């Protein structure tokens, strides 16, 4: 099976490529504009990288005819909630228009299977917890809206063109490759765990960028899921579709929520450093608490997340300490 992986030079995409290769998927081409991704990671993983931007449909049309992809795993997207509130146009052009261009290209090439990197932000504020796939979709920020729009496209493309898809709505990706080979290197870095660790390593200042909310310690609660567990789910979703599975939506989370202060405490424990608890400018558009029901992914994809919060912090601490 020849695979196209968009955004494969990025954080979750690169970890998924490593898991794909471990599972016998060796014919992989990465499409990435390298705005946030790292070409050296793909070189290390031994996969071909084509530098191209999904917003430019002509560049997709010009891809050599030798590329006849049977399946696509789509990671290429902007993914910052706060930035999407400040610059929604950027998110709709890249996440929505870029995805539509990609799907247009794939349909023309008779691609059969599509795995979407989606998000729990499609749900918006939690009306009940844990959130399952039947929860109403009411995103509260442009990032979540852009992903919901792509999910809606996929339903129609399945009906009209027979493109089978799995939309994986993951909660908060965290951690680094348990083998220590690849990890999380964003610039700028907006994620809580690496920011707290970089502060513990003396590499940057640290402030809480969350709003004070109605939770036990007044900080937001999120479901953190290890990137290697996410990568494993993508491989399972691809196999599920290839074995005749119907198009569907799946939550990827551990089913347990941790508050921002609990995460900071975990970083302090691993690093043996005390971090400041001063509040900075709060990011907009983020609900108070959100954690998943993952029963559907467990039952249908046979997915069983292995790693806990301590593993996520430890693997990130080790990787950033070396890089």
Q: Which token pair is 218?
A: 């007044």
Read off the tokens for 223. Answer: 């479901």
Residue 236 contacts residue 299 (beta carbons within 8 Å)? no
**Quick one: tokens of 121?**
């932000």
C-alpha dist (Å) from residue 282 to 91, 134, 136, 222, 259: 20, 30, 26, 16, 15
Alpha helices in 168-226 (DSSP H): 192-200
Tokens of 192: 């809580």
Q: Which burial class, exposed, middle or buried, applies to 129 when counting CB atoms under 10 A from its CB (0-12, 13-18, 19+)?
A: middle
Specify the DSSP class assigned to residue 108: H
Angle between helical axes of 98-108 and 142-161 (0-180°, round to 10): 20
Q: Is the dihedral of CA 310, 222, 155, 152 positive or negative?
A: negative
Helical H runs in the chain? Answer: 11-22, 39-45, 57-61, 81-86, 88-91, 98-108, 142-161, 192-200, 227-242, 260-271, 295-300, 309-322
Catalytic residue among 96, 105, 123, 143: 143
Question: CA 248 to CA 267: how far, in whole Å?
Answer: 36
Q: Which two tokens stand for residue 290?
A: 């959100």
Asked if 78 is an active-site residue, the reply is: no
Exposure letters 47-56 (e unless 16+ CB within 10 A, then b): bebbebbbbe
Residue 103's CB: how many other CB atoms inside 10 A? 24
| CA distances from residue 72 to 104, 163, 198, 203, 224 in whole angstroms, order as listed | 13, 11, 34, 37, 25
Q: Rounded to an integer, what is the distance from CA 153 to the centroid of its chain?
A: 19
Would you name the residues annotated as active-site residues?
A: 143
């Amino acid at each position: 099976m020849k695979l196209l992986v968009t955004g494969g030079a990025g954080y979750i995409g690169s970890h998924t490529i490593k898991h794909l290769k471990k599972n016998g998927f060796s014919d992989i081409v990465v499409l990435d504009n390298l705005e946030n991704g790292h070409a050296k990671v793909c070189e290390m993983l031994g996969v071909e990288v084509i530098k191209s931007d999904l917003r430019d449909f002509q560049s997709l049309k010009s891809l050599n005819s030798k590329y006849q992809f049977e399946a696509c795993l789509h990671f290429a997207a902007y993914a910052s909630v706060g930035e999407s509130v400040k610059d929604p146009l950027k998110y709709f052009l890249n996440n929505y228009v870029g995805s539509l261009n990609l799907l247009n290209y794939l349909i023309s090439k008779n691609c059969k299977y599509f795995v979407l990197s989606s998000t729990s932000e499609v749900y918006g504020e939690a009306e009940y917890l844990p959130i399952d796939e039947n929860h109403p979709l009411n995103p509260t920020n442009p990032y979540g809206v852009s992903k919901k729009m792509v999910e809606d496209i996929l339903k129609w493309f399945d009906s009209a063109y027979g493109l089978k898809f799995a939309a994986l709505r993951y909660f908060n990706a965290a951690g680094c490759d348990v083998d220590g080979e690849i990890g999380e290197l964003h610039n700028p870095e907006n994620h809580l765990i690496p920011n707290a660790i970089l502060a513990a390593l003396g590499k940057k200042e640290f402030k809480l960028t969350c709003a004070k909310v109605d939770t036990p310690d007044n900080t937001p609660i999120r479901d953190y899921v290890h990137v290697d567990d996410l990568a494993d789910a993508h491989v399972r979703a691809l196999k599920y579709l290839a074995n005749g599975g119907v198009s569907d939506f799946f939550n990827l989370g551990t089913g347990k929520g941790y508050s921002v202060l609990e995460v900071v405490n975990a970083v302090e424990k691993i690093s043996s450093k005390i971090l400041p608890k001063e509040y900075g400018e709060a990011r907009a558009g983020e609900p108070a608490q959100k954690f998943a029901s993952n029963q559907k992914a467990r039952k249908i994809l046979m997915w069983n997340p292995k790693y806990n919060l301590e593993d996520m912090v430890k693997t990130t601490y080790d990787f950033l300490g070396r890089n």
